[in-house]
């Protein structure tokens, strides 16, 4: 029928696309007017939407009105300048344009032949980023290694764990899987534990080694060495270790050079998770945090966290691509082709869990080109400076204390209790977090370090300015005063 929306029509796409871009632009223009943390109750949306899908088409205007009145109230606004909770998930104009183009082309680039540009651009753009990070040449696609874009850091650690598992089992025999041991700090992201569950590593062979406050929650090499030695003495097989650059709780940095020597001497796969803080390492003054990465077998950072690249875009580099391919490759008849059979190309289907994959390198390529490394460095530095200023306000107020030294753009702090009682202190800070988030003016999160309830303020939203930091500090002061007046 005349006027109905077709599955794909160039002129309708132009018309509707303009309306959607206007809607999104207005959303960003007015984003500060929304409560940062959604204030709805569980199950709110089912009461507002019909029980069945419409039998007949509706207008875009009707849909946009429902988004405005029914969907947006249930959104927690990650791009709000007052969002300080989890590590950021950056959007940008360049990232959005790349995402739009990827959606428009809408191909499924699992092998080179399905769209040669998708594979080759990914190889090139990850070489660019590796060079910006000054990663060892072994991680470049021109050698035996290379980079691949995963959806998340959770996927990245899973695929390298599987590669490491299969590599050692080819040597010791598949029946030895019950002897394989994985090591990490107790500050390591829970994604590693899930990877072990998926990969068949016995739960009792997953070692979370305690990181202590006197080392700012970085893992002690002695702790790893002792654990490995103990397991070897009991007939187990240490095979995988994950270090973190910028832990979730406190942005602790594990000492890569010393840890790398231990893994190398014990023939273990050494993975470095720099999902959050890796972006900062494009700045020369922060690059030292990944000194020792030359000892690693794999390295991961999330460009979608703090690198202005829309979710999802997690960059993973490996030194030995064959380890991934041997573990993850399948070669059914319907996927065979001359280029692949002749080993002339990279087929990224063999570097990941799913077969299908999106043209994600487009948005990373556009971010690197439209901003350039100098602007990206300035972007990161600005957030770190804003976090430093917030930290200064905390340090100048005797009611608060800094819990761990700030390294990047995360500030870990807490309200001091009137009396020396840790249980009461934990409740007080829990109440402060609830009070602050309930205002709708900002959103923060918490962690627990050494049994202490800690508040986390992570600066990283693209629109955050100093005025937002000052406004957030004012909310903390006001809500703390209210709570302390009741003590």
Domain contains 69:
no
CA dihedral 157, 158, 159, 165 (to 10 degrees): 100
In order of 21, 48, 49, 57, 305, the CA distances from 54 in angstroms are 25, 14, 11, 7, 37
Of 371, 388, 405, the residue at which a domain comes to its end is 371
- List Cβ neighbours of 59 (8 Å cut-off, separation of 6 or more): none
Say yes or no: 264 and 403 in one domain.
no
Same domain, 378 and 470: yes
- The CATH number of residue 220's host domain is 3.40.640.10
H-helix or E-strand spanning residue 405: none
Structure tokens at 55: 């039998």
What pLDDT, on a 0 to 100 scale, did the predictor assign at position 341?
A: 86
Task: Report CA 70 to chain centroid distance, whole Å.
Answer: 29
Grouping H, G, I as helix, E, B as strand and the rest as coil, residue 214 is helix
Specify if 429 maps to a domain: yes
Quick one: which H or E segment has residue 228? helix 221-233
Name every residue whose Cβ is closer than 8 Å to that of residue 52 and which is 6 or more positions away in sequence. Answer: none
The residue whose two tokens read 């039998």 is 55
In this structure, is residue 280 part of a structural domain? yes
Instruction: Report the CATH number that the domain containing residue 388 is assigned in CATH.
Output: 3.90.1150.10
- Residues 384 and 426 grouped into a single domain: yes
The whole-angstrom separation of Cα 18 and Cα 442 is: 31
pLDDT means over runs of 10, the chain (487 residues): 78 93 96 93 95 92 95 95 94 94 91 89 97 97 96 97 97 95 97 96 96 94 97 97 96 97 97 97 97 97 96 96 94 86 88 92 96 97 97 95 95 89 92 95 95 96 96 96 87
Cα–Cα distance for residue pair 347/340, rounded to 1 Å: 7
* 206 plus 316 within the same structural domain: yes
Q: Is 25 part of a structural domain of the chain?
A: no
Q: Are residues 129 and 274 in the same domain?
A: yes
Domain match, 364 and 411 both: no
Task: Examine the fold and report which residue of 353, 371, 389 is the final residue of a domain before the chain moves on.
Answer: 371
Kindly state whether residue 342 falls inside one of the protein's structural domains. yes
**Is residue 99 domain-resident?**
no
Q: What per-residue confidence (pLDDT) applies to 146? A: 97
Number of independent structural domains in the chain? 2
Polymer length in residues for the chain: 487
Residues 201, 349 within the same domain: yes
**244 and 156 in a common domain:** yes
Which of residues 341, 371, 401 is at a domain's end? 371
Within-domain flag for 15: no
- Which pLDDT belongs to residue 3? 66
Burial classification of residue 262, based on how many CB atoms lie within 10 Å of its CB (0-12 exposed, 13-18 middle, 19 or more buried): buried
- Whether 301 and 337 map to the same domain: the answer is yes
Whether the CA torsion 49, 55, 57, 58 is positive or negative: it is: negative
- Round to whole Å and give the CA distance between 325 and 350: 5
For residues 417 and 468, membership in a common domain is answered with yes
Q: Does residue 430 fall inside a structural domain?
A: yes
Numbers of helices and strands, H then E, in the chain: 14, 11
Residue 293: predicted pLDDT: 97
Strand arrangement, sheet containing 298-302: 146-150, 314-318, 298-302, 269-273, 237-244, 180-185, 206-209
Q: Mark whether 258 and 223 lie in a shared domain.
A: yes
Q: Output the pLDDT for position 421.
A: 85
**Model pLDDT, residue 292:** 96
**Alpha helices in 279-421, H assignment, sequence order:** 303-306, 321-328, 338-341, 361-395
Crossing angle of the two packed helices 93-105 and 361-395, in degrees rounded to 10: 150
Looking at the structure, tell me whether residues 397 and 264 fall in a common domain. no
- Determine the structural domain holding residue 208 and report its residue range: 107-371
The first and second tokens of residue 449, run together, are: 């370090």
Task: Pull the structure tokens for residue 164.
Answer: 């490491």
């Amino acid at each position: 029928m005349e006027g109905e929306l077709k599955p794909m029509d160039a002129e309708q796409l132009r018309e509707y696309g303009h309306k959607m871009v206007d809607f999104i632009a207005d959303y960003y223009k007015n984003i500060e007017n929304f409560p940062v943390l959604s204030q709805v109750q569980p199950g709110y949306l089912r009461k507002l939407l019909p029980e069945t899908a419409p039998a007949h088409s509706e207008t875009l205007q009707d849909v946009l009105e429902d988004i405005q009145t029914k969907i947006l109230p249930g959104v927690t606004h990650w791009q709000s300048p007052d969002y300080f909770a989890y590590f950021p998930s950056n959007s940008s104009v360049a990232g959005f344009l790349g995402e739009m183009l990827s959606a428009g082309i809408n191909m499924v680039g699992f092998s080179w032949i399905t769209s040669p540009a998708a594979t080759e651009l990914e190889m090139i753009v990850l070489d660019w980023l590796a060079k910006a990070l000054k990663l060892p040449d072994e991680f470049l696609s021109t050698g035996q290694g290379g980079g691949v874009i995963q959806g998340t850091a959770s996927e990245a650690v899973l695929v390298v764990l599987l590669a490491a598992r299969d590599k050692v089992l080819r040597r010791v025999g598949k029946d030895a899987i019950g002897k394989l041991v994985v090591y990490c700090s107790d500050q390591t992201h829970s994604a590693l534990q899930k990877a072990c569950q998926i990969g068949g590593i016995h739960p009792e062979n997953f070692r979370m080694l305690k990181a202590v406050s006197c080392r700012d929650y970085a893992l002690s090499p002695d702790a790893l060495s002792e654990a490995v030695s103990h397991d070897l003495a009991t007939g187990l097989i240490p095979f995988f270790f994950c270090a973190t650059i910028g832990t979730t709780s406190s942005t602790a940095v594990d000492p890569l050079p010393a840890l790398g020597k231990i893994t190398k001497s014990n023939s273990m796969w050494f993975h470095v998770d720099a999902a959050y803080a890796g972006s900062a390492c494009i700045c020369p003054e922060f690059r030292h945090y990944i000194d020792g990465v030359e000892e690693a077998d794999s390295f991961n950072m999330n460009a979608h966290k703090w690198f202005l690249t829309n979710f999802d875009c997690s960059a993973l580099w490996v030194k030995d691509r064959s380890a991934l391919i041997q573990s993850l490759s399948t070669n059914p008849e319907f996927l065979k082709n001359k280029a692949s059979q002749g080993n002339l190309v990279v087929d990224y289907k063999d570097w990941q869990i799913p077969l299908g994959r999106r043209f994600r390198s487009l948005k990373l390529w556009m971010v690197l080109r439209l901003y350039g490394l100098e602007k990206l460095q300035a972007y990161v530095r600005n957030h770190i400076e804003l976090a430093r200023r917030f930290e200064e306000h905390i340090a100048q107020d005797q009611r608060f204390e800094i819990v761990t030294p700030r390294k990047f753009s995360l500030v870990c702090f807490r309200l001091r209790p009137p009396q020396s009682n840790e249980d009461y202190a934990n409740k007080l800070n829990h109440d402060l977090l609830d009070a602050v988030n309930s205002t709708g003016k900002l959103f923060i999160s918490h962690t627990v370090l050494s049994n202490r309830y800690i508040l986390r303020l992570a600066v990283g939203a693209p629109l955050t300015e100093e005025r937002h930091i000052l406004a957030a500090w004012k909310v903390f002061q006001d809500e703390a005063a209210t709570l302390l007046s009741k003590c």
